[in-house]
């Protein structure tokens, strides 16, 4: 009898060089703005410059400042961008070069619009509500169980000089109504709410007096008005005089984008805008929404449906002529309007 040849291995086993070198995924790493691209093979060499690679952030081209092989994982490339990126940004990568190779000699396959998973820390939006316990930094205050409406936790045992810090994104430079939920069985106190820049300077602030409410879980809402500047900031709540408990802070825009519509419930930012504009519709989860962009003469430029689960919708407006426009939000059988200027 002739021997039977085992050909299964030869039929199904491929050499590594027969498999193309491909990008599998990309993501920002931890709290840094570095982008890690993962491949299906270990890489052998990289170009000195980011030749062949390109990046877009919110559909805008952004320069890649550096590109290197991950010393801890040779199947990854680390990319650094020349401009800062943030939690709400949509980042995509492209490659059309011929210089990146695997250890087996295969060249990297070109790719376009590779979505970068954005893992950057989420900034709390203003306007909106901030729970006291969602702080980025806590100097001196103590968490405790809260019996106010909504339950959860509050912060107490305040002392002069204690403070809380929150990472926030102010979507529009405006005057805001600030509400603070407090409780006290001791003496009247005082806090200062500050908008702090990246250098630690206090650029906007307001002082609020906290009353004696009759108990450490007897809650009362106090209010004030503060001007906040658009952008990413640190919000600091500083204890000037104790003693009281804090449950939450709420910011509501004091002025309306278009005077004739006092029911406006959404924000357009940035405004003025260039290429991409975001429509923020806080508290609209579960509601059907439609956004319509109209020219100053009332002509419809674009209409988009907003998913029930979305509270922010991005629109590309880079191909629209500069000028004044009206953004209409249709929700719950009502139409709300705000102005938009395109530069």
Token couple for 205: 């602030």
Lowest mean pLDDT among 6-20, 106-120, 245-259, 328-342: 6-20
Contact 67, 53 (CB under 8 A): yes
Of the ranges 14-23, 59-68, 207-216, which one carries the lowest mean pLDDT score? 14-23
pLDDT over 70, % of the chain: 91
pLDDT score of 186: 87
The lowest-confidence range among 46-60, 136-150, 173-187 is: 46-60
C-alpha distances in angstroms, 156 versus 144, 186, 252, 332?
7, 12, 25, 39
Query: Which class for 245: exposed (0-12), middle (13-18), buried (19 or more C-beta within 10 A)?
Result: buried
At residue 341, the pLDDT reads 86
Structural domains of the chain, ranges and CATH numbers in brackets: 8-117 (2.60.40.1220), 124-253 (2.60.120.260), 267-342 (2.60.40.1220)
Other residues' Cβ atoms within 10 Å of the Cβ of residue 189: 20
DSSP 131: E
Cβ atoms of 148 and 183 closer than 8 Å: yes
Structure tokens at 172: 């529009």
The predicted model scores a pTM of 0.58
Specify whether the CB–CB gap between 287 and 337 falls below 8 A: no
- Name the burial class of residue 10, with classes exposed (0-12), middle (13-18) and buried (19+) by CB atoms within 10 angstroms of its CB: exposed
User: What is the pLDDT at residue 258?
Assistant: 40
71: buried, middle or exposed (CB in 10 Å: 19+, 13-18, 0-12)? exposed
C-beta of residue 102 within 8 angstroms of C-beta of residue 77: no
Highest mean pLDDT among 171-180, 241-250, 260-269, 330-339: 241-250
In the sheet where 300-306 sits, what is the strand order?
A: 300-306, 289-295, 323-331, 334-342
Q: If you average pLDDT over residues 107-127, what whole number do you get?
A: 92
Nearby residues of 208 by Cβ (< 8 Å), 6 or more positions away = 178, 180, 190, 191, 192, 193, 222, 223, 224
Distances (CA, A) of 295 to 215, 236, 305: 55, 40, 19
What's the token pair of residue 184? Answer: 């006290």
Confidence (pLDDT) at 257: 40
Roughly how many angstroms between the first and final C-alpha of the chain, as a whole number? Answer: 85
Going by pLDDT thresholds of 50, 70 and 90, the confidence category of residue 31 is confident
Bond before 243 cis per omega within 30 degrees = yes
Three-class HEC string of 262-321 = CCCCCEEECCCECCEEEEECCCCCCCCEEEEEEECCCCEEEEEEECCCCCEEEEECCCCC
Which ranges constitute the DSSP H helices of the chain? 8-12
- Distances in Å between the Cα of 169 and the Cα atoms of 120, 131, 165 are 13, 15, 13
């Amino acid at each position: 009898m002739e021997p039977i040849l085992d050909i299964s291995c030869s039929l199904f086993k491929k050499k590594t060089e027969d498999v193309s070198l491909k990008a599998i995924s990309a993501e920002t790493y931890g709290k840094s703005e570095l982008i890690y691209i993962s491949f299906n093979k270990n890489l052998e060499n990289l170009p000195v410059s980011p030749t062949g690679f390109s990046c877009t952030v919110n559909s805008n081209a952004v320069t890649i400042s550096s590109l290197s092989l991950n010393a801890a994982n040779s199947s990854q490339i680390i990319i650094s961008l020349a401009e800062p990126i943030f939690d709400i940004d949509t980042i995509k990568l492209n490659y059309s070069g011929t210089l990146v190779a695997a250890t087996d000699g295969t060249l990297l396959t070109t790719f376009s619009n590779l979505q970068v998973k954005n893992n950057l820390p989420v900034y709390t939006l203003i306007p909106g509500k901030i729970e006291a316990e969602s702080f980025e930094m806590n100097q001196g205050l103590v968490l405790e169980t809260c019996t106010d409406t909504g339950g959860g936790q509050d912060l107490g045992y305040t002392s002069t000089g204690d403070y809380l810090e929150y990472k926030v994104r102010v979507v529009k430079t405006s005057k805001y109504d600030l509400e603070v939920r407090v409780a006290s069985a001791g003496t009247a106190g005082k806090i200062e709410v500050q908008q702090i820049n990246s250098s630690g300077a206090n650029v906007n602030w307001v002082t609020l007096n906290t009353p004696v409410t009759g108990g450490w879980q007897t809650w009362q809402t106090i209010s004030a008005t503060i001007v906040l500047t658009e952008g990413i900031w640190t919000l600091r709540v500083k204890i000037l005089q104790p003693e009281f408990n804090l449950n939450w802070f709420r910011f509501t825009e004091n002025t309306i984008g278009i005077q004739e519509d006092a029911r406006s419930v959404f924000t357009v930012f940035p405004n003025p805008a260039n290429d991409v504009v975001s429509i923020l519709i806080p508290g609209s989860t579960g509601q059907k929404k439609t956004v319509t962009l109209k020219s100053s003469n009332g002509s419809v430029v674009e209409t988009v449906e907003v998913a029930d689960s979305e509270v922010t919708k991005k629109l590309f407006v880079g191909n629209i002529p500069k000028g004044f426009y009206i953004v209409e939000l249709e929700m719950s059988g009502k139409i709300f309007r705000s102005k938009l200027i395109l530069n």
